[in-house]
Amino acid sequence: MTSGDNLFGRLLGRTSATSLDTPGPPTPGLHLQLDHQGHVLSISGTLRPQLASHGVGETRPLLRELLCASSALSIEGRPADWQRQSLDLDFQGATGQVLHTRGWIEAEGDGWSLRLLDVSDLLAGSQLAQHREQNHQLACQMSGQLRVCSLTRLPEVFNEHLRSLAQRWRIPCVALALLDEEDQGWRIYSHYAAHDAPALWRTGQHLGTSLDSVSGNTPLSLAQERSDNPRLQSIFGNADGFLVPYRDSQGVAAWLLCGLYNGQPHTSEQDWLNLTAALAAPLLSRLREQRYHQQLDRMEALQGLLGTGWWELLPATDEIQLAPQLLHSLSPEDGPSRQPLDLWLELIHPADRQELNSRLHDLQALGKPLLTSVRLQRTDAEHNPLWYRVQGQVLGMGDNRRWVGFMLDISDIKNQQLQAAAAHARLDNLIASSPAVIYVQRYVSGALHPAFFSDSLLPLLGWTLAECSHDSLASLIHPEDRDLYFERTRQLLREGAVRSRYRLRDKQGHYHWLLDEAKLLRDDLGLPLEAVGLWLDVTEATQAAEQIKQSEERYRLLVEDSPAMICRYRPDLTLTFGNTPLANYLECLPAQLPGLNLGHWLSEEQRQAFVQRIGQLSAEFPVSTAEISLELPGREHAWWVWSDRGVFDEQGTLVEVQAVGRDNTEVRRSQQQLTQSAKMATLGEMATGLAHEINQPLNVMRMAIVNVLKRLSNGDAQIDYLTEKLQRIDTQVQRAARVVDHMRVFGRRSEIEQQLFDPSQAVDGTLSLLGEGLRGKGVEVRVTPADSAVQVKGYVDQLEQVLINLVVNARDALLSKRDKDPTFRPWVAVHCEHDSRHVRIWVEDNGGGIDPRLLERIFEPFFTTKPIGVGTGLGLSVSYGIVENMGGRLSVTNGEHGARFCVELPIS
């Protein structure tokens, strides 16, 4: 402003003595004398030589004619009109330049005197000021926009400003470099290059520390600086340019780099500094703000994740302020972040509340740092308690003291700790209450010295560690087991592990059987350190094993001496054990039994049935009883009542069968005899029917013979006639033979094995024996033939015997009824039916049925309503046994007309 001050001084007449009062030189500026019309009479003054026409002479030009066109217009009229105002006049200069002047006019003598001063520099100054003003406005505008734009748009807005800066000053390449926080070098934050200029830099480029060495007080022209700072070469290369620093309290914080550019005169260094500051200061503050926000976000996220947060005590109001995250994790229904201390303490579990309160008090009053763990008072009790670590300290001094701290959710760790402690306690408890003692023996020069016993030692043996010292331990061992114990120690040291069993005396003098398992621990060099082991009191188990051995012996004797056959065999019927009675039956020694196969004494069918029956055993129904028939050495047949019990493994697979058997052959024989005699009795009863049955063909034959003889005697015995008669006789002979044959078959003993047969065979047999006889006695026989053949298993002759019994009984009932009522028309009906599982043979009559009171008793042996000598009372009871033996059922009901018997048999 120095030049401006001088100028105003000159204008105001306060010109300093040095500039104007120097004697000699002509009046400064221009001094023109004008006449009343404005003609220039004379020109003098220091500026005179600079005028285009400084010679006035005779021509006396008008003042207007000396001025530039623009200025000439500003003076109208005559000099008298121009008084009392400041005149700005631009003269045409001698070299074509313009001479800017300012002055005033005053009357002087007869004319006018116009005094003017050169104001070129004043005008330049004002132009400069105008520029500066514009720069300032630009700076304000830029910094204003940078301050208010959103953080996301900040780089864009900034780059926009760089561009307008570059365009305004015609700088081809411009960039802003900022200190990089992390590696302390400089980095291009943003750059702009005109489209026709090479891009010297790119955004994000790292410039290293080359700018650190530049002083950074004023803008630097590269031309001057390059020689001092060769490192700038790395930034600008060979391009021209200059750098403008921005300094804040910590020193240079930013550089504006202008490349390929040599500053222009009307932008001063200060302007550049201001401009740079207008760009850099708001940018840096916004970036700081951004970093702060990021940090805050990170902090908040971290606090949220860790369930942690800060707190601050406000003793003045007895309040506490909490970080929002902390507040949220403490009480999900968010309260105010600032709350009375008492209210906050309510959140803490009563067990920890008082302690925390007192520690907070210590922190406030004594400045004692706070560190404690507290539980939260939670209403949802099924959760594990929430544990927080509370830490606090005093910040600052005197009146600036603050009491701050944080809370950290340590529930996981704490609950694990508690669980581990509980598990530990449980384990201790378990060991203490178990019949086991854990011990440690320390290795001392070749010997093992007891060093630790678990608490269970005292309840188990009554001794303490001191009483079980190295010297006394051996004496506590049972004298018979001492050698064993010493050997145990030697083996432990030799092999690193041992398992042994010996007796140890307790305080009462009783010996305990101890199972001792020990392991030797060694150090890095392999030298023995200590032995860790376990004593298990196995006294009871040892005694129990002894008892089992004894009872096993007793059972063995029982089995051996039993009259019953007892054995064990595998599912494939191989014997694993058998007692003497069994061996006697099989004619060998008991010791020879294991390995023999039971199937050897069974017929193929019996064996199959046996294996099938064993296959049906299950863990739920492990027992099965049956009567089996065997072919024993030297005996015809034996019948054993045989009871099996399956032994199953965990998967339910049959492993072994234990069996008990009793010889039933005698019982079976008498049963067979009974059946046989019943059969014979039936045959006896049937005698009348049979006589009729045989008589019938005999009659037919007699008739035929009589007729043939008559023809022969007449002499007209044709060969055809004879053939026909002989065939008839033959048919009748066959019929009689069939009856006789059948009787013979029926009278035989039953087969040993059950056979498959069609039950209608038995129906046919019955009717062939009884049919004619019944009809002969006037009883109608109604037979419904079976619709299809089925097979049942048993004895066909025995089923026939059953049916004969039923039909004979029906006949007796019918005939006795007809005796009383000769008009009665008796009938007996036999019909078969079957479903998928059973075949049923119905025998029904119209004899009036059985007295309901007797219904239950008729199957009893020797129950009869017939006169003595007529009925045996065995028919139905034997029949019942036969049907049952075939796996079926014999039942009776009273039908509409009479008794209805039903033989039901399983289809095979």
Q: Running DSSP on this structure, what letter comes out for residue 785? A: P
495 or 856: whose CB is closer to ligand ADP?
Answer: 856
815 or 907: whose CB is closer to ligand ADP?
Answer: 815
172 or 875: whose CB is closer to ligand ADP?
Answer: 875
Residues that bind ligand ADP (rule: CB under 6 A) add up to a total of 20
Q: With CB under 6 A as the contact rule, which of the stretches 72-80, 491-499, 572-580, 873-881 interacts with ligand ADP? A: 873-881
Q: Which residues contact 528 (CB under 8 A, 6 or more apart)?
A: 443, 493, 520, 521, 522
Q: What's the closest the beta carbon of residue 687 comes to ligand ADP, in angstroms? A: 15
Collapsed DSSP state (helix, strand, coil) of residue 628:
strand
Q: What's the closest the beta carbon of residue 803 comes to ligand ADP, in angstroms? A: 12
Alpha helices in 307-349 (DSSP H): 324-330, 341-345
Q: CB of 202 within 8 A of CB of 188?
A: yes
Name which of residues 11 to 30 contact ligand ADP (CB under 6 A).
none
Does position 824 interact with ligand ADP (CB under 6 A)? The reply is: no
Q: CB of 502 within 8 A of CB of 481?
A: yes
Q: Which amino acid is at 820?
A: K
306 or 815: whose CB is closer to ligand ADP?
Answer: 815
Q: What are phi and psi of 370, to 5 degrees?
A: -105, 130
Q: CB of 189 within 8 A of CB of 203?
A: yes
Does position 829 interact with ligand ADP (CB under 6 A)? The reply is: no
Q: What's the closest the beta carbon of residue 899 comes to ligand ADP, in angstroms? A: 4
Question: Residues 179, 348, 504, 876: which binds ligand ADP (CB under 6 A)?
Answer: 876
> Nearest residue by C-beta to ligand ADP?
875
Q: With CB under 6 A as the contact rule, which of the stretches 143-151, 240-248, 656-664, 804-812 interacts with ligand ADP? A: 804-812
367 or 684: whose CB is closer to ligand ADP?
Answer: 684
Nearest Cα to Cα of residue 806 among 672, 676, 692, 685: 685
Does position 805 interact with ligand ADP (CB under 6 A)? The reply is: yes
Does position 847 interact with ligand ADP (CB under 6 A)? The reply is: yes
Collapsed DSSP state (helix, strand, coil) of residue 7:
helix
Does position 899 interact with ligand ADP (CB under 6 A)? The reply is: yes
Report how far apart, in Å, the C-alpha atoms of 695 and of each of 720, 778, 812, 828 are: 27, 17, 22, 23
Question: Residues 4, 603, 863, 895: which binds ligand ADP (CB under 6 A)?
Answer: 863
Question: Residues 850, 882, 890, 903: which binds ligand ADP (CB under 6 A)?
Answer: 850
Question: Count of CB atoms within 10 A of residue 163's CB?
Answer: 16
The sign of the dihedral angle between the CA atoms of 789, 793, 797, 801 is: negative
Q: What's the closest the beta carbon of residue 815 comes to ligand ADP, in angstroms? A: 11
Does position 813 interact with ligand ADP (CB under 6 A)? The reply is: yes
Question: Residues 208, 385, 873, 895: which binds ligand ADP (CB under 6 A)?
Answer: 873
As a whole number of Å, the end-to-end CA separation of the chain is 136
Q: What's the closest the beta carbon of residue 762 comes to ligand ADP, in angstroms? A: 17
Question: Residues 872, 882, 883, 886: which binds ligand ADP (CB under 6 A)?
Answer: 872
875 or 881: whose CB is closer to ligand ADP?
Answer: 875
Does position 185 interact with ligand ADP (CB under 6 A)? The reply is: no
**Counting beta carbons within 10 angstroms of the beta carbon of residue 313, is it exposed (0 to 12), middle (13 to 18) or buried (19 or more)?**
buried
Does position 858 interact with ligand ADP (CB under 6 A)? The reply is: yes
Report how far apart, in Å, the C-alpha atoms of 36 and of each of 59, 84, 348, 645 are: 16, 16, 105, 160
Question: Count of CB atoms within 10 A of residue 842's CB?
Answer: 17
* Structure-derived torsion over alpha carbons of residues 282, 286, 292, 294, reported in degrees to the nearest 10: -160
Binding-site string for ligand ADP from residue 232 to residue 251, where x marks contact by CB under 6 A and - marks none = --------------------
Q: CB of 193 within 8 A of CB of 173?
A: yes
| Cα–Cα distance for residue pair 229/209, rounded to 1 Å | 12
| Cα–Cα distance for residue pair 534/639, rounded to 1 Å | 59
Q: With CB under 6 A as the contact rule, which of the stretches 70-78, 228-236, 704-712, 863-871 interacts with ligand ADP? A: 863-871
754 or 877: whose CB is closer to ligand ADP?
Answer: 877
| Cα–Cα distance for residue pair 541/797, rounded to 1 Å | 63
Q: CB of 404 within 8 A of CB of 326?
A: no
Question: Residues 125, 335, 340, 871: which binds ligand ADP (CB under 6 A)?
Answer: 871
Does position 891 interact with ligand ADP (CB under 6 A)? The reply is: no
214 or 890: whose CB is closer to ligand ADP?
Answer: 890
Does position 166 interact with ligand ADP (CB under 6 A)? The reply is: no
154 or 858: whose CB is closer to ligand ADP?
Answer: 858
Q: What's the closest the beta carbon of residue 715 comes to ligand ADP, in angstroms? A: 57
511 or 863: whose CB is closer to ligand ADP?
Answer: 863
Does position 773 interact with ligand ADP (CB under 6 A)? The reply is: no
| Spatial strand order in the sheet of 497-505 | 447-453, 436-444, 528-537, 511-522, 497-505
Q: Please count the helices (runs of H) and the strands (runs of E) in the chain.
A: 25, 34
Question: Residues 90, 271, 663, 845: which binds ligand ADP (CB under 6 A)?
Answer: 845
Question: Count of CB atoms within 10 A of residue 220's CB?
Answer: 22
Site residues, ligand ADP (CB under 6 A): 805, 809-810, 813, 845, 847, 850, 858, 863-866, 871-873, 875-877, 898-899
